[in-house]
Structure 1
Amino acid sequence: MGMFTELAIMYTKYKPERIMEHLKLYWSRINIPKVITACEEAHLWPELVFLYVHYDEFDNAALTIIQHAADAWEHASFKDIIVKVSNVELYYKALRFYLNEHPLLINDLITAMMPRIDHTRVVSMFLKSDNIPLIKPYLLAAQHTNNKSVNEAINDLLIEEEDYEILRDSVDQYDNFDGIALAQRLEKHELLEFRRVAAHLYNKAKRWRQSLNLSKKDKLYKDAMTTARLSGSTEIVEDLLRYFVESDNKPCFTACLYTCYDLLHPDVVMELMWRNGLTDQAMPYFINLTREYQSKMDTLTKEVAELKLKVAKQEGANAGGLPADGAGLLGPAGLGSRLMITDSQYRGSTLPPTYNDSFSGPSQQF
């Protein structure tokens, strides 16, 4: 070991171009700490990183690469080293290093470090430097954690890119974000589809009135009717119905009758129809309602008739002295089986005087 170690030290001083070959061949037969000191004094950074790695000093290896990137950095080897460090703070130093030196490779690096990094801290770091679009692939890969900072960063990116379809999928699948703040922001957006997403967010927050007002403002009447149905409130549905009457929107009045069919009171619909001359528009609703009521009445009548028949049978059986199932309390033989409880020693014999004086006849004996 002494020979190989001293030779390595001599190489660092007089033939540095041969030291790497020597280390690769004999690294297991040298005194690594002594050679590390020699390499550091000679400013042989790639060789120093090589020794740190084989001495399991991954933290020092990563720091050396970051501090002397011009000589020691190589993306593949650095990615292998950084995932083995024990100090997680080095992850964030590595991210800052890549952001400054190799920004196009940062998603590859951050994906390798994903299991151990704090997503909130990473998002905050890139927000401060205004480089969130640079790490979009990482954000999409990390969204399955449903982290609030990640979700909000992705939503901001999608709004900036005007991708309303993916934004709607995002808010549906990952709910850990401030939905009301996002809805208030989107309701003022110049694009109609983003205002629809705002109404959808109000629905998810059960703010039915705000969603309805937004849909009515944009004349998205189908969305308004869907919101009214989802609310489950008869009051909200009737208010929407009156809105269609006041705006003289007869087709939507008819459509609302069927969309919110179960939540409407027939007397309210009839009054609106009579006061506003909407007989043609409301008549299909009443025909369907009449048919439904008739079906329910037929079913109810049949059930009542069957119940009456069953009660009549029970009453007839009880009138015959038997329970409804036709069996005696002590067995199917009826009264005759009750006499069998008399002991056989009294059959054909005269009962004691006391009993003869009190009873006469077999039935009275029982």
Structure 2
Amino acid sequence: MGIFTELGILYARYRPEKLMEHLKLFAVRVNIPKLIRVCEEQMHWQELTFLYIQYDEFDNAAMTIINHSPDAWDHMQFKDVAVKVANLEIQYKSITFYLEEHPDLLNDLLNVLKRRIDHSRVVDILRKANSLPLIKPYLIAVQSDDVIAVNEALHELYIEEEDYEKLRESVDHYVNFEQIGLAQQLEEHELLEFRRIAGYIYRKNGRWEQSIALAKMDNLYSDAMDTAAASGSRQLAEDLLYFFVEQGKKECFAACLYTCYDLIRCDVAIELSWVNKMMDCSTPYLLQYLREYTIKIDDLIKDKLDAIKERKELEEHQKEALQQQGNTNNITQM
């Protein structure tokens, strides 16, 4: 071991171009701590990194690369080192290092670190650097963990990019974010589809009145009807029906009767139709109501007749049983 170590020291001091080759050939046969001191003294940062890796000192290897990146950095090597460090703070320093010097490779680094790092802290680092768009691929990759900071960061990016389809998809699949806050932000958006998402969020959170009001404001009457039906509130459904009458929306009036069929009282529907000359609009509703009402009456009558029949059969059965018992008693007495 001594001769290989001494030769390494000589290379470090007098023939540095041969040092790395020597270390790769005889890494297991040299005194690594001794050569580490020499390489540090001679400022051979690439070789020093190699020795730290061979000695399983990954924390020191990572910090050497970060502090002396012009000489020591290699992307593939750094990824292998970063994922093995014991001190997690070094991983966050690695993220900052890549953000400053190799932003194009930051997502690749984050991809290998994602199982060990705190996603919320990563978002905070990038937000402070005003560089959230840079890590969008990483955020999408880890969103399945449903972390609040990740969800809200992506929502911010989707709004900025006016990508309402991705925002709706995210709102559909993930729940950990400030839902009402997002809805309040979106209801002021200039694009209709974003305001529509605001109404959808209100609906998901049981804020039926706000959702319906927003839908009516944007003439999204189908959304308003669906929300009223989902609410299970007769009051909301009938209020919406009155609204369509006031606005002269005959088609919407008919559609609302269909969508909120189970909530709207028949007498209310008939009165509104008759008073406002919309009987033709309510005819399908009335026919369906009468059909169901007739079926219910028929079922009740059938149940009543079946009950009478069963009672008669029971009485006849009891009568026969008593008669048989009387015959048996007569035979016994004889």
Question: Same fold by TM (over 0.5)?
Answer: yes
- Give unmatched runs, 5+ long, in structure 1: 340-361
**Distance (whole Å) between structure 2 residues aligned to residue 17 and residue 190 of structure 1:** 63
Structure-1 separation of matches of 2:205 and 2:250: 30
Distance 1:334 1:287 in 2: 61
Residues 246/14 of structure 1: CA separation in 2 closer, same or farther (3 Å cut) = same
Deviation at 1:248, TM superposition (A): 1.1
1:1-366 to structure 2, matched below 5 A, reads 1-322=1-322, 335=329
Q: Indicate the larger mover: 24-33 or 267-276.
A: 267-276
Q: In structure 1, what is the Cα distance between the partners aligned to 2:157 and 2:310?
A: 70
Normalised to the residue count of structure 1, the TM-score between the two structures is: 0.88
CA distance in 2, matches of 1:10, 1:254: 94
TM (normalized to structure 2)?
0.96
State the 1:300 CA deviation: 2.1
Structure 2 Cα separation of the partners of residues 174 and 291 of structure 1: 43
CA distance in 2, matches of 1:142, 1:80: 20
Q: Name the amino acid aligned to 1:46.
A: Q
Q: What secondary structure is seen at the aligned counterpart in 2 of 1:175?
A: coil
Aligned amino acid, residue 110 of structure 2:
I
Q: Distance in 2 between matches of 1:75 and 1:165?
A: 35
Residue type matched to 1:131 in 2?
S
Once residues 314 and 94 of structure 2 are traced to their aligned partners in structure 1, the CA distance between those partners, rounded to angstroms, is 88
How far apart, in 2, do the equivalents of 1:234 and 1:280 lie?
23
In structure 2, C-alpha distance between the alignment counterparts of 1:336 and 1:104, rounded to whole Å: 109
In 2: Cα distance, 1:154 partner to 1:322 partner: 82
1:232-258 C-alpha deviation (Å, 9 max, x unpaired): 111000000000011111111011111
Segment of structure 1 superposing worse, 83-92 or 286-295: 286-295
* Corresponding letter in the other structure for 1:67: N
Residues 1:291 and 1:21: Cα distance change in structure 2 (over 3 Å): same
Shift of the alpha carbon at 1:264? 0.9
Where has structure 1 moved over 6 Å in runs of 4 or more?
none
Matched residues in 2 for 1:43 and 1:334: separation? 121
Task: Describe the superposition over 1:161-199 as per-residue Cα deviations: whole angstroms up to 9, x where unpaired.
Answer: 001011101001001001100000000000000000000
When the two structures are aligned, how many residues end up with a matched partner?
A: 333
Bigger helix share: 2
Once superposed, what is the RMSD of the aligned Cα atoms? Answer: 1.7
Deviation at 1:284, TM superposition (A): 2.1
| SS state at 1:304 partner | helix
For 1:82 and 1:283, how far apart are their aligned partners in 2?
72
Q: Percent identity?
A: 53
Larger radius of gyration: 1
State the shift of 1:4 in Å.
Answer: 1.0
The Cα of 1:268 is off from its aligned counterpart by 1.1
- Structure 2 letter corresponding to 1:309: K
Deviation at 1:274, TM superposition (A): 2.3
SS in 2 for 1:115: coil
SS in 1 for 2:114: helix
